Amino acid sequence: MERTCSRRAALRAAGTGSAVALAGCASMLGSEDGSSIRISGGVGPLPMMQVWVDEYEQRNDVSIDVSGGGTGVGVSDVLNGQVDVAMMGREPEPAEVDQGLFAVAMLRDTVVGTVNPDNPVVDELNEQGLSRAELEAIFTGEVTDWGEVVDADVDEDVVVYGRSDASAAYKKWGSFLGGYTQSELQDLSDGNFDGDQPVAQAVGDEPNAIAFNNVNYIWDFETGELSGDVRPIPLDLDDDGELGDGEDFYGSRDEFLAAVEDGTYPAPPAREMFLASDGGFEGAAAAFVEWVLTDGQDLVRENGYVPLDDDRLADQRDKLAEGP
């Protein structure tokens, strides 16, 4: 079938959580007799989902509509029968499972701290990185001046941005920082925005800003190179005040994802992402999810994510076949 929009356009639409925009991108209609699948949920996996949808619709007589809004929206939609599949940037919570939510892992992604390229201490950040404890101090308001962050002769306020939507990324970031809830971090932020793209845009508009984003909002979605108005904050993994050779892997998306895949970059904030249904997957949705866990995995790495390892994939295929 003819592809009606680019992945880059889908990425922009995903950042806004726009159901209308994404439905327009994802729905390349097949024949009138073809099946349909409705998908909604997390912003993090949405760019990969668009790639899968493009490929799957070309191979099958099926129409797939995709919308964003965040993991919480997807879970609510699928449990209320509004969609067939929810995309989740986190594992299901016990209360969701009790309501009938059934999920299988589909890939791995991560959240990364971000700053403006013109941040007043960006050179120091790239040389020294920041430890988990230092990031916690910034996001909780303990440290409020960039001169305090890296002991530089700078007097510039730190501007902290977060997410206002039901964001699994925010939950993982809060867990990484020290077990903070999204609500706690929102209350401590200088501004909260609805989706990844608005956060990235806000950081790009404010040189003193710090936030966090998913991988494909930092490195260019097509080329995998650093571009645009945000830059990753390297993690000082051994907390020694400098970025060693084994910690400097942020030059390209491929280099960074290799560190996620081999476990050098920690989890959290690295995370698995899931596809979920109300009860077991059925019909066209079940066939699509099975394809995602087989042939679809071949597309994951080249599009800025980390595929599941073979053992984890086998477990998830078995889980899909067995059902809840």
> Tell me, what CATH number does 76's domain have?
3.40.190.10
Instruction: Write out pLDDT tens, residues 149-159.
Output: 998 899 999 99
Please tell me whether residues 13 and 76 are part of one structural domain: yes
* Average per-residue pLDDT for the chain: 89
Instruction: Write out pLDDT tens, residues 22-48.
Output: 444 433 333 334 599 999 999 889 999
Q: Decide if 2 is inside a domain.
A: no
Residue 279 one-letter amino acid? G
Please tell me whether residues 244 and 127 are part of one structural domain: yes
Percent of the residues in the chain that have a pLDDT greater than 90, as a whole number:
80
CB 39 within 8 A of CB 90: no
Instruction: Write out pLDDT tens, residues 99-122.
Output: 999 999 999 999 999 999 999 999
Please tell me whether residues 254 and 284 are part of one structural domain: no
Q: Decide if 1 is inside a domain.
A: no
* Assigned token pair, 287: 């066939």
289: containing domain: 7-107+271-322
Instruction: Write out pLDDT tens, residues 59-81.
Output: 999 999 999 888 999 999 999 99
pTM over 0.75: yes
